[in-house]
Structure 1
Amino acid sequence: MTQPEAGTPGAGHLSVGQGAALSIGAVLGTGVLTLPALAAEIAGPASLLSWLALILLSVPLAGTFATMGARYPDSGGVSTYVRRAFGNRAAAMVGWCFYTAVPAAAPAAAMMAGRYVADATGGGRASELGTAAVLIVVVWALNAAGLRLSGRVQLAVAAVLAALMVLTVVVALPHVRPDAIGPLLPHGWGSVASAAGLLVWAFAGWEAMSSLAAEYRDPSRAVPLATAIALVAVAVLYLALAATTIAVLGQDAGASHAPLSDLMALGIGPLARPATAVVAVLLTVGTMNTFFAGAAKLGAALARDGALPGWFAEGSSAGAVPRRSLLIVGGGALVSLTVTAVAGLDLTATMLLATSSFTLVYLLGSAAAVRLLQPGWARRAAWVAALASVGLAVSIGAPMLWPAGVSAAAALYLATAGRGAPK
């Protein structure tokens, strides 16, 4: 099937504001709930260097995906660019990695919010898992209703969550305790790299928006502008919250299951905990909403292009709702949540499986941009993004075997389906 060319008008309905909100929701999302504290536990105050490194990486990374989305608006997103650059096998590999990462990551994201609900209500593991299950079903329903409804809901959610994050920082700042920070680098420089590998979770999302590029009214103008707005907002809010977490909670940050609640409670009191639980739910809905939408569209596009069974292809065109693919994403998330609950899996382990997949998507997507773009600033940014993605893969380590296995499965599917020859 012929892919859209550069500058092809979108057949969708997303405005710049809605697109920016979707991007902010995808990237900001659940990262604010636990990662400032987890990164501080791994690397101490030096974890701020990890945050800064990921923010700086986001500039070429977001710019690369915005450039490619504006030039080739298609629901296939990264897989479309990789196919143009490297052929069917590589496109299927990157597509499968992202498509399988979302159901695997959804329980971890939803359970982060579940911890805040449990903290506010005094519930335990059952409250955490129950909240996670409800969130998965709600996000599936939002997307099943269509992107128009999801985009409007996300626009309101992004505005509310940004205001509440600013409030959290403001009320916590008077409680800064410089004496509680401790050694700046308690676990050595290697811990900064380890923290950066975990923090990929906090910045995953730029690639999700590329699958929605065709849903914009004017992709060539709207995609770069929406991405730029989201990039500035995400950088400011993440860095402010991470710095506040370290300066206020100090060495106790890593021991908290609900660090955002702890920050709010210091400034407002115990009644802040229920309010923070609401924030956690909103953040999670925002993140999962965008990832479910992007993954469902990608699954339909992969089927359209022969990388998945044709049954999935319904809804691959711009403006259509890929309900069959969405059913697989939502159902897979519920199955993954069940396995997590029964096996008692650690959240960090689940997060690293997801971040390893996202890192491979970043690497192949950036490499495709290097090959497809003409010499200039955009291509230089793609080179930086590709090289940085290699560094992230090294910092993640063994969990990178997961996307390697998924990639092998994709290649095997193409071979057995008789579609293995690259175009």
Structure 2
Amino acid sequence: MTPDGTGSGTLTRPSPTSPVPLQPGIGIGEGTALYVGAVLGGGLLALPALAARVAGPASLIAWTLIVLLCVPVASAFTALGTRYPDGGGIATFVTKAFGSRAATPVGWSFYFTVPVANCCAAFIGGEYVAGALGGGRATAMASAAVILMVAYGSNWYGLRMSGRMQLAMVGLLMLVLLTAVLTALPQTRAEHLEPFAPHGWFAVGGAVTLLFYSFAGWEAVTHLSGEFSDPKRQLPRITAFSVGVVALVYLGLAFACIGVLGPAMNGSAVPLTMLMQRGIGDAAQALTVTVAVLLSFGTVNAFAASGARLGAALGRDGSLPKWFAKGSAAGEVPRRSLAVLAVICALVMLVLSVAPVGVESLMTAASVLFVTVYVAGLAAAVRLLRRMTAAWCGAVIGLIALVGSLAFFRYFLILPVLLVAFAEAFRLFQRRRAIERTTP
């Protein structure tokens, strides 16, 4: 596709200025549930303890920075999704802004990160199940496999089914989380906030790199934008609702874990269980497992949906083999792309079962690739959106903040470099094949 949308990869959508026919699709409730489910991932189950281990109580600053960054980033992606409703999401925006050569590595970075992030989310949920049932890592792996199979299976039968499931589960999830936080907060102790920065202020940057795993998800709704009946009206409302819910849960849970649990949380793989035990006693075990499974499933479900759509769009536009393109039209189910993601998930789970890879390393690996995608998407927003609008200013702020954060990822930066290299090799291979076909 050329930057202006012409050529063999032309997007088959109406232009932003033409009327879009309203068709039955995802509603505001389902969309908000999918959005919140994508952002409030399984990482929320472990990140309060992991971030506190890195930066101590000062990790609350890292959580606050992440929440503040959500606002401009989400507004920029909403503006792009409203203007260019398409399953390609950020890859589509980058194509329009910089051409297909730039979009291919961006699409690959998101698409091939989805199964890694999903396995990580499912495994965290599995650890909570293992903590309740016993059995150690084997039980955690088996539980994670069940979460993955149910989420990918529900998406196999279409997004409407997934959206309804997500709506019911996110509502229950919010009720349980808020109950846990509100019942535990009266036990907050001021001494748990001292010393505030035991590892120095630079450690806050290290905590931020971990928390980017929880930050990922704000782009997910752009891949589903073509499924909304009226994205121009619905997406801003969905974004506003989602930002409010996410900010409330993130900051409330992080403060409660540090203020109530304090040093007792360090090294724990199940901080939410500990928090709920302080608030509601013996019923905490069952409720924690419920929350863990719902959070993990919500993440896997939403990212499987958006990732599958992206893969189909990349196949349609030539950034992946054309075989992936089946199911790329609005209303269709991209089962081929979804199947590839499921296979990659199976391979990652196999590696996890035989190699001593920690969840923290998986989170950081997924985070650096997500940040790379966000940098490209916000750069496209700066170029495509009307200057000096609120969304454009948000894109500029988000872009500067994310580029600066890359320095904290250190050797993990090799991952996006490798993906860019592989994507460029694929592009050159496709170009060579095209030349061979047209040469007499």
Query: TM-score over 0.5 for the alignment?
Result: yes
Q: What CA distance in whole angstroms lies between the structure 1 residues aligned with 2:130 and 2:32?
A: 31
SS of corresponding position for 2:386:
coil
Change beyond 3 A, Cα 1:289–1:419? farther
Q: What CA distance in whole angstroms lies between the structure 2 residues aligned with 1:154 and 1:275?
A: 18
Q: What CA distance in whole angstroms lies between the structure 2 residues aligned with 1:252 and 1:134?
A: 31
Structure 1 position 19 matched with structure 2 position 27: no
Structure 1 position 381 matched with structure 2 position 391: no
Give the AA of the match of 1:161.
L
Q: What CA distance in whole angstroms lies between the structure 1 residues aligned with 2:371 and 2:433?
A: 24
2:6 counterpart residue number: none
SS of corresponding position for 2:113:
helix
Q: What CA distance in whole angstroms lies between the structure 2 residues aligned with 1:420 and 1:135?
A: 40
Kindly state the Cα deviation for residue 182 of structure 1 after the two structures are TM-superposed: 3.0
Structure 1 position 332 matched with structure 2 position 340: no
1:103 and 1:329 in contact (8 A); partners too: yes
SS of corresponding position for 2:266:
helix
Structure 1 position 251 matched with structure 2 position 259: no
> CA offsets, 1:283-313, max 9 Å, x none?
1111111100000000000000001111111
2:57 and 2:196 in contact (8 A); partners too: yes
Structure 1 position 393 matched with structure 2 position 376: no
Q: Mean alpha-carbon deviation: is it higher for 172-181 or for 3-12?
A: 3-12
1:99 and 1:298 in contact (8 A); partners too: yes
2:180 and 2:280 in contact (8 A); partners too: no
1:119 counterpart residue number: 131
Give the AA of the match of 1:58.
C
1:367 counterpart residue number: 379
2:43 and 2:124 in contact (8 A); partners too: no
Match of 1:351 among 344, 363, 372: 363
1:265 and 1:272 in contact (8 A); partners too: yes
Q: Which runs of 5+ in 1 are unaligned?
A: none
Q: What CA distance in whole angstroms lies between the structure 1 residues aligned with 2:432 and 2:235?
A: 32
1:156 counterpart residue number: 168
Match of 1:298 among 310, 318, 324: 310
Match runs of 1:252-331 below 5 Å: 252-331=264-343
Kindly state the Cα deviation for residue 419 of structure 1 after the two structures are TM-superposed: 7.5
Give the AA of the match of 1:6.
P
Structure 1 position 170 matched with structure 2 position 182: yes
Q: What CA distance in whole angstroms lies between the structure 2 residues aligned with 1:188 and 1:419?
A: 53
Structure 1 position 89 matched with structure 2 position 97: no
Kindly state the Cα deviation for residue 12 of structure 1 after the two structures are TM-superposed: 5.7
Q: What CA distance in whole angstroms lies between the structure 2 residues aligned with 1:354 and 1:211?
A: 18
Match of 1:6 among 16, 32, 40: 16
Match runs of 1:180-199 below 5 Å: 180-199=192-211
Give the AA of the match of 1:2.
T
2:5 counterpart residue number: none
Q: What CA distance in whole angstroms lies between the structure 2 residues aligned with 1:119 and 1:368?
A: 44
Q: What CA distance in whole angstroms lies between the structure 1 residues aligned with 2:351 and 2:144?
A: 13
Indicate the RMSD between aligned Cα atoms, in angstroms: 1.4
Kindly state the Cα deviation for residue 11 of structure 1 after the two structures are TM-superposed: 5.0
Q: What CA distance in whole angstroms lies between the structure 2 residues aligned with 1:171 and 1:419?
A: 63
1:63 counterpart residue number: 75
1:35 counterpart residue number: 47
Kindly state the Cα deviation for residue 46 of structure 1 after the two structures are TM-superposed: 0.6
Kindly state the Cα deviation for residue 180 of structure 1 after the two structures are TM-superposed: 3.3
Q: What CA distance in whole angstroms lies between the structure 2 residues aligned with 1:316 and 1:193?
A: 39
Change beyond 3 A, Cα 1:323–1:168? same
> CA offsets, 1:75-122, max 9 Å, x none?
000000000011111111110000000111122111110111011112
1:121 and 1:274 in contact (8 A); partners too: no
2:125 and 2:292 in contact (8 A); partners too: yes
1:109 counterpart residue number: 121
Q: What CA distance in whole angstroms lies between the structure 1 residues aligned with 2:138 and 2:155?
A: 26
2:39 and 2:215 in contact (8 A); partners too: yes
Kindly state the Cα deviation for residue 337 of structure 1 after the two structures are TM-superposed: 1.0
1:226 counterpart residue number: 238
So what's the TM-score if we normalise by structure 1? 0.97
Q: What CA distance in whole angstroms lies between the structure 2 residues aligned with 1:105 and 1:334?
A: 13
> CA offsets, 1:27-59, max 9 Å, x none?
012132011111111101110100010111111
Kindly state the Cα deviation for residue 181 of structure 1 after the two structures are TM-superposed: 3.4
SS of corresponding position for 1:397:
helix
Q: What CA distance in whole angstroms lies between the structure 1 residues aligned with 2:224 and 2:104?
A: 18
1:404 counterpart residue number: 417
Q: Percent identity?
A: 45
Structure 1 position 413 matched with structure 2 position 426: yes
Q: What CA distance in whole angstroms lies between the structure 2 residues aligned with 1:220 and 1:61?
A: 17
1:74 and 1:212 in contact (8 A); partners too: yes
Change beyond 3 A, Cα 1:405–1:96? same
